[in-house]
Amino acid sequence: MQVLAFVFLFAAFAFKLSIVPFHLWTADVYEGSPTASTAFLSVISKGAFAFVFITALYKIFQPLHSVWYNLIMLLSVVTMVVGNLFALRQQNIKRFLAFSSIAQVGFILVGISSNTPEGIASVVYFILIYIFSNLAAFGVAGVVASQTNKEAINDYKGLYQTNKFLSWMIALALFSLAGVPPTAGFFGKLFLIKAGASQGSYWYIVIIALNLVVSLYYYLRIVRAIFMEQNDQPVAPVQVSFSTKLGLVICAAGIVLTGLVGWIYDYIQSFA
């Protein structure tokens, strides 16, 4: 009965966090919602539920650790694989970011599976980085879509020709989501993998590393389209308001400084 109760509660959390196989709503909702609502769902809502999920596992269901460790380890791999494979074939930028967020949840589960204070610290640190990175990506997508009605990834070809500021902002966000050094995303995923390896399941870490390589391809594919590919009808110059520009600059600073300023992770770990 305890295991059955845990499975029911886990299904509820999995639905909110977009863990496979409870992820089927994510891409359609992300694409159909206004960009501001989509950004809130992908960052704030998901981050809040991740914190509650950790508390439930570590406090309430700690006696069932042998059960939920195997379940989370399996679902983290499946979630990463499904998120990566479907992100590869997306043509809409919001659907692409939806499957990207599913794959990122798989990495969050890696840190949660460690059942250690280091795992908690790595998850909180990664969610902080994820907030800056995803808000920057959705911010650029929202500005472009609101003024040009363009959401297809092909429309971003040659974006650097006409919108240099937006191009650098989304490139930095994608580098962080991909885990490219020296962005904070690299350190976030490094700490998650290190925490996940504490249980000694090294084949698990190998699979995670392979998924990292796959994610590099589809993130850098968009960066390549923005900076290197030509477009006969590039996105027209977009007027970026001061408040939007300030928000994007804050996100960019967060992406860089969260990774380079070491005391931020130490401060989070002191609470964990």
pTM: 0.88
Per-residue model confidence (pLDDT) at position 46: 83
Long-range pairs, 199-207, Cβ under 8 A, ≥24: 199/69, 199/113, 199/114, 199/115, 201/73, 204/73, 204/77, 204/110, 207/77, 207/80
Domain residue ranges in the chain? 2-8+32-271
pLDDT of amino acid 49: 86
Residue 272: per-residue pLDDT: 67
Q: Which of 13, 23, 253, 271 is nearest to 129 (CA)?
A: 253
Residues 6+ apart with CB under 8 A from 238: 143, 144, 147, 148, 162, 163, 166
* Confidence (pLDDT) at 112: 87
In this prediction, residue 200 carries a pLDDT of 66
Q: What is the pLDDT of residue 79?
A: 92
Q: What percent of the chain clears pLDDT 70, i.e. is strictly above it?
A: 99
Low-confidence ranges of the chain (pLDDT < 70): 200, 272
What pLDDT shows up at residue 78?
92
